[in-house]
Every structure is written in structure tokens, then in C-alpha cells.
Amino acid sequence: MQAKVSKSGEKPCPICGKPVVEASKPFCSERCRDVDLNRWLSGSYAIPGKPTDDEDAE
């Protein structure tokens, strides 16, 4: 899914799609910033990579 770009050239909030607020960039509010942080801390977001095998490292 691609984010729509506003007339000012900024992408909307990645959480709810509302216009971005300068104080909370790239989000529209502190609430959306906190939602995003919670998703990272809970493991909902993950950066893909090769699986590591700890036994091979030894």
C-alpha cells in the first residue's frame, strides 16, 4: 500500500493517514508516535534478515 502525498509534498501519518504535524513529524500526534513505538517494542515490526545460528558462531 502506497501512502498518498499531500499537496505540500509530505506523506500522511503512517499510523492513521491524517496530515502530519510539525511537532510530531512524521506522525500527526503524540498518540500516533506512541502507537508506533509500542509496535516496535512489542515486536510487531521486525527488520528482515538472515536467521542466525548461535552454534555456528562458536
28 is in an annotated binding site: yes
10 is in an annotated binding site: no
For every one of its 58 residues, what pLDDT tens digit does the chain have, with 9 covering 90 and above? Answer: 455 555 667 899 999 999 999 999 999 999 999 999 999 999 998 888 888 776 655 5
Q: Tell me the C-alpha distance between 14 and 37, whole Å.
A: 12
Identify whether the C-beta of residue 30 lies closer than 8 Å to the C-beta of residue 13. no
Strand, coil or helix: 5: coil
Q: Where are the domains of the chain?
A: 1-43
Four-CA torsion 32, 36, 42, 43, nearest 10 degrees: 150
How many other C-beta atoms are found inside a 10 Å radius of the C-beta of residue 34?
Answer: 12
What is the reported pTM?
A: 0.65
32 is in an annotated binding site: yes
